[in-house]
């Protein structure tokens, strides 16, 4: 097996293991602290530092990786996740909002170091014969789609572990598994992956390519449009209004994310006829965003007329399909439009915008759900997608 491909597969496997813990801890925190009596806004606040430090991490993570290597940034991320999980496995009286926010801050840093390392590795590790537009789109889609499918499995794993072992037992289980993967990755992954040949200045973390900047801005609003209803509003709504138990809530959240990941991984085949063997371009991101903008408002109108489980579930599944294709196009474009020597910094800058969008959406999710309900979250979701679509008008077929 080609050495670059072998290293890519090791990084991908480590990323998968990390992603399981990331999905699990999200559901553990949402459901356990809802059980302890926290309001939707208070639950949302628990993720404030998780998303905020994700922004900071993505801002400097690409620069750091270009200096010390992608393997080290990945291992630092996994180590921080272990610390964050262990911090939450303490008696309930220790779990103040400030304490949990600090633990979530470490988890946010860990997650974005891992994601940046895995995404940036694609262009630097794949062999030359796999670097054409169509092949690159395929590899990016496989990594992104499989990550989201496993995150969905992590959602279900978190609720299952909560049911079986309670909160602290679930955390100890996750710490043990991730520690094993970290040790194996440290042994088998060579050092210096992704290091820049030239000394990278800190001021270079901000992209000077207009296409990267417009794509990043569109990404901010795209992910805010999902998390505004997904992070807090949906699980609380399913539990309170539909009276689903925790396992049922986790199963649906897992099903949605897994399906979303499968569609992402399948995006190259789904779009093959429209791009004639080439990768997508800026017009693809724009067209899929305008289509996506229609869906949340239609779901909200339908819910106002008949608040049935079928209306919500079918509507969110359709949203997930269109959102997944849009996200897959974005994930391909950021890698395709980055030079080999700057890919880590560009990917870091782009996912800084992604983390900013999640932070914005997460805060709004708790606030709008508490004041305007799930339909209010959906109306605002459509508005945020419109912003993403309008920003995508600046994206050309090729970066300028």
199 falls within a domain = no
Q: Per-residue pLDDT tens for 207-235?
A: 567 888 899 999 999 999 999 999 889 98
Q: How many residues does the chain have?
A: 400
24 found inside a domain: yes
Residue 283 reports pLDDT greater than 80? yes
Provide the CB-side half-sphere exposure for 279 (13 A, CA): 25
**Residues spanned by the domain of 173:** 3-192+207-392
Give a yes or no: residue 346 inside a domain: yes
Cα angle for residues 238, 298, 43 (degrees, 5° grid):
35
Domain-located, residue 198: no
Q: Is residue 66 part of a domain?
A: yes
Q: Which is more confident, 79 or 340? A: 79
Report the CATH number that the domain containing residue 335 is assigned in CATH. Answer: 1.20.1250.20
Domain count, the chain: 1
The DSSP code sequence of 22-53 is HHHHHHHHHHHHHHTT--HHHHHHHTHHHHHH
- Predicted local distance difference test score (pLDDT) of residue 92: 84
Q: 33-66 burial, b for 16+ CB within 10 Å, e for fewer?
A: bbeeebebbbbbbbbbbbbbbbbbbbbebbbbbb
- Give the distance, in angstroms, between the CA of residue 18 and the centroid of all CA atoms in the same chain: 12
pLDDT attached to residue 223: 93
Q: Which residues of 245-268 are buried (b: 16+ CB within 10 A; e: fewer)?
A: ebeebbbbbbbbbbbbbbbbbbbb
Q: Is residue 200 a part of any domain in this protein? A: no
Cβ contacts of residue 38 below 8 Å, gap of 6+?
46
Residue 400 lies in a domain: no
Average pLDDT over residues 250-261: 86
Q: Are 324 and 365 in contact (CB under 8 A)?
A: no
Tokens 């949990």 locate to 100
Q: Distance between CA atoms of 101 and 169, rounded to whole angstroms?
A: 20
pLDDT at 138: 77
The reply to whether 399 falls in a domain is no
């Amino acid at each position: 097996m080609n050495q670059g491909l072998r290293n890519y597969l090791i990084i991908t496997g480590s990323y998968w293991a990390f992603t399981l813990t990331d999905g699990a801890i999200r559901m553990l925190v949402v459901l356990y602290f809802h059980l302890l009596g926290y309001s939707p806004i208070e639950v949302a606040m628990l993720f404030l530092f998780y998303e905020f430090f994700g922004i900071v991490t993505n801002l400097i993570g690409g620069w750091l990786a270009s200096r010390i290597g992608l393997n080290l940034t990945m291992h630092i991320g996994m180590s921080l996740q272990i610390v964050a999980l262990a911090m939450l496995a303490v008696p309930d009286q220790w779990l103040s909002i400030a304490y949990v926010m600090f633990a979530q801050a470490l988890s946010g840093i860990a997650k974005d170091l891992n994601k940046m390392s895995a995404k940036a590795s694609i262009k630097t590790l794949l062999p030359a014969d796999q670097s054409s537009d169509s092949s690159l789109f395929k590899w990016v889609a496989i990594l992104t789609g499989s990550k989201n499918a496993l995150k969905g499995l992590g959602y279900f794993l978190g609720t299952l572990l909560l049911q079986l072992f309670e909160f602290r037992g679930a955390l100890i289980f996750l710490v043990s598994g991730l520690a094993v993967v970290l040790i194996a990755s440290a042994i088998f992954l060579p050092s210096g992956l992704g290091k820049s040949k030239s000394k990278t200045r800190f001021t270079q973390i901000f992209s000077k390519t207009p296409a990267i900047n417009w794509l990043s801005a569109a990404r901010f609003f795209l992910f805010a449009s999902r998390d505004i209803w997904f992070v807090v509003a949906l699980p609380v709504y399913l539990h309170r209004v539909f009276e689903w138990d925790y396992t049922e809530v986790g199963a649906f959240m897992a099903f949605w994310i897994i399906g979303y990941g499968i569609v992402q991984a399948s995006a190259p085949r789904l779009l093959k006829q429209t791009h004639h063997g080439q990768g997508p371009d800026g017009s693809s991101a724009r067209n899929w965003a305008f289509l996506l903008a229609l869906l949340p408002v239609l779901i909200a109108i339908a819910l106002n007329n008949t608040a049935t489980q079928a209306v919500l579930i079918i509507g969110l599944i359709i949203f997930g399909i269109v959102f997944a294709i849009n996200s897959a196009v974005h994930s391909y474009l950021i890698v395709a439009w980055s030079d080999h020597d700057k890919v880590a910094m560009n990917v870091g800058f782009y996912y800084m915008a992604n983390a900013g969008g999640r932070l914005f959406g997460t805060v709004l999710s708790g606030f709008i759900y508490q004041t305007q309900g799930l339909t209010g979250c959906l109306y605002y979701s459509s508005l945020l997608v419109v912003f993403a679509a309008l920003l995508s008008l600046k994206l050309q077929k090729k970066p300028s």
